[in-house]
Amino acid sequence: MNHLKREIKEKSLKYHIITYGCQMNSHESEKIAGLLEEMGYGPADSKEDADFILFNTCCVRENAEQKTFGNVGRIKKLKLKNKDLLVAVCGCMMQQKQAAQKLLDTFPFVDIVFGTHNIHELPNMILAVKEKHERVYQAPELTELHDDVPQKRAAGPLASVNIMYGCNNFCSYCIVPYVRGRERSRNAEEIIREIAELSPHGYREVMLLGQNVNSYDGGIGFPQLLTRICEETDIPRIRFMTSHPKDLSDELISVIGRYPQICRHIHLPVQSGSSRILREMNRNYTREAYIGLVEKIRKNIPGIAITTDIIVGFPGETEADFADTLSLVREIRFDSAFTFVYSPRSGTRAAEMPDQIGEEIQSKRIIELVALQNEITEQRNREYVGKTLEVLVEGISTRDPGHMCGRTSTSKMVNFPGPPSLTGEFADIKITQGKKTTLFGEMIKEEP
Ligand code: SAH
Ligand code: SF4
Ligand code: F3S
């Protein structure tokens, strides 16, 4: 390994990572970057000047998979130009044997393929390719945790921390439990230690990650973990995702209410407004239970924003079922929603169900749902006009270089004129305009 490290340093080899999928994947790419930098690789500006290109893949919907195949294919020409170039593909899609095999067969220039359980083995895989000139393909399912790897966090005030891996819920449409394995929670002490080290390094907000944080069990439960993070670390803001509605406890609601550090935002995927479809989805709650839960959360934590995920066109979804989803969206008035067309995933129960819905109906339904939610999102954003909100400034706005952007505790993106030196600071912003995706405002000057 030392020999390899020397070679990487001498040639100043560089890496480039392309990440698809959710925040879990983005965070794992930070770990991969940490491992590569420990081996001596430096960050490249683009694929074109990289000597190690890695694709971290997602397979939650079919279009995520198609994108990967297209983009990996385009790397071939770079491989012909640079004989040092190694190409690796990892992540959820590669945890599936069939998809991994298809990728290996289609692209003989891919050197390394690995899954979601063995990121820590990457240095050894690189060593094997460099020394034995062999392709490496490893996607075991491990039950123990191997998350003690260096991390290279993205620049800025936001940090992600994984609190648990895997999922036991087996929603009938979802591939995640198959590619991420069973639930494994990290030890609470380790998590707290990791978070305690964030603020001295300039981080101001932590996102706790897990497929279902409510079932965290690292010696203590999730509400206790949040309590300890609030009591024992000085991180000013804490977020988490995702919460499953079936087991969001009263205790969790009261902990969120008690600590102002915990952001006033819950992402609570509902998936459908029809109790019948929810049962087919194996979600373990009804429409009524979901609505009751939202009422309880709003009553106990005033001003909290609630966002959601919704799937349309699940097998057997009738016009009446879809109307139930629309009426739920109207009744709850989510702050925003991620909306998806159902995508059959092979190996899941829903993929085998009769009455798969045709594309035409699916696209009609998603258009109608998106239009409704957009209207509600914009109305809700307009309700912020005139209010002054605390914003954690994340950096220069991508839309307008004279503006800065950041989020409120309720996770609304805010743009306002201000200097880049505000990055990482909290600023009080008076909201002047509420648009579909963004609030606009101006900074309240502090008294000298
Ligand atoms: N564990 C989280 C996130 C899972 S994936 C949760 O349970 O909320 C994120 C979202 O993708 C899901 O909430 C769901 O809305 C969507 N999704 C998952 N599988 C899908 C599929 N087969 N087709 C369409 N959307 C899907
Ligand atoms: Fe998928 Fe359901 Fe697990 Fe979320 S809770 S990852 S939707 S199986
Ligand atoms: Fe995330 Fe996609 Fe995997 S949503 S958990 S990267 S399948």
In angstroms, the CA 211 to CA 183 distance is: 9
Ligand closest to 270 (CA) is 1
Q: Is 173 in the pocket of ligand 1 (CB under 6 A)?
A: yes
4 burial class (0-12, 13-18, 19+ CB within 10 angstroms)? middle
Q: Is 340 in the pocket of ligand 1 (CB under 6 A)?
A: yes
Q: Considering the entire predicted model, what is its pTM?
A: 0.96
Tokens coding 72: 């990996």
Q: CATH says 2-138 is which class?
A: alpha beta
**Strand blocks (E) in 58-196:** 86-91, 112-114, 136-138, 158-162, 164-165, 184-185
Tens of pLDDT, residues 95-129: 999 999 999 999 999 999 999 999 999 999 999 99
Tens of pLDDT, residues 251-296: 999 999 999 999 999 999 999 999 999 999 999 999 999 999 999 9
Q: Is 214 in the pocket of ligand 1 (CB under 6 A)?
A: no
Tokens coding 374: 């957009």
- Which atom belonging to ligand 2 lies closest to the Cα atom of 242? 4
- Which atom belonging to ligand 3 lies closest to the Cα atom of 22? 1
Q: CATH says 158-382 is which class?
A: alpha beta
Residue type, 348: T
Which residues are CB-contacts of 124 (< 8 A; sequence separation ≥ 6)? none
Which residues are CB-contacts of 309 (< 8 A; sequence separation ≥ 6)? 267, 269, 270, 271, 337, 338, 339, 340
**58 labelled as ligand-binding?**
yes
Going from the Cα of 167 to the center of ligand 2, the distance in angstroms, rounded, reads 6
Please tell me the predicted confidence (pLDDT) of residue 171: 98
Could you tell me the pLDDT band of residue 401, with boundaries at 50, 70 and 90? Answer: confident
CATH homologous superfamily of 388-443: Nucleic acid-binding proteins (2.40.50.140)
Please tell me the predicted confidence (pLDDT) of residue 233: 97
Domain spans of the chain, in order of start: 2-138, 158-382, 388-443
Could you tell me the pLDDT band of residue 446, with boundaries at 50, 70 and 90? Answer: low
Angle at 42 between CA 41 and CA 43, to 5 degrees: 125
